[in-house]
Amino acid sequence: MPLDHLWATWRSNYVTSSVESRSDAPTDGRTLFERILAADGTDDEKHLLHRGRTCFVLLNKFPYTSGHLLVLPNRGVADLEALTDDEHIELWALVRSSVVALKAAFRCDAVNVGVNLGAAAGGSQSDHLHVHCVPRWTGDANFIGVAAETRVLPVSLDDALASLRAVW
């Protein structure tokens, strides 16, 4: 039986526009995530879930699903091997805490944890290492993203932040 292929060519437009908008934005030499961390406004307004000594946890503004969050070092470092020992330890401890919080807050069946190292690996913000933690439910994969170029997100960023804060 031949393998069928599903094409998601809309992703190309998303990645291209993300890269173009990033290169056009004023950076002051800082990464997007460094600018978010230092920006005016409250952590709630920035959907920043947790600040650690060397790392932080942020809800993804463009989530794959409700509750999709990112764990990042405070400083803009692109490579896993460039982390200090303290950053490495805190990063992976926060990934573990994030998985525990996602399971408790969303009662998800599983969690995808992943890192895209470099633009060729799919990282649209490859200048600042970040670990994706994505809650998943049995049967949540569907064709709406491919057929309608739409993501169904039943929980707002504000509600996801409140749910996660309650169990953090």
Q: Which one-letter amino acid corresponds to residue 154?
A: P
Q: Tokens 């599983």 identify what position?
A: 110
Coil, helix or strand at residue 122: coil
The continuous run of DSSP H or E covering 24 comes out as helix 10-24
Q: CA 129, 135, 155, 65: dihedral to nearest 10 degrees?
A: 60
| Given the residues 50, 128, 130, 132, the one annotated as active site | 130
Catalytic (active site) residue 130: yes
* C-beta of residue 95 within 8 angstroms of C-beta of residue 129: no
**Active-site residues: which are they?**
130
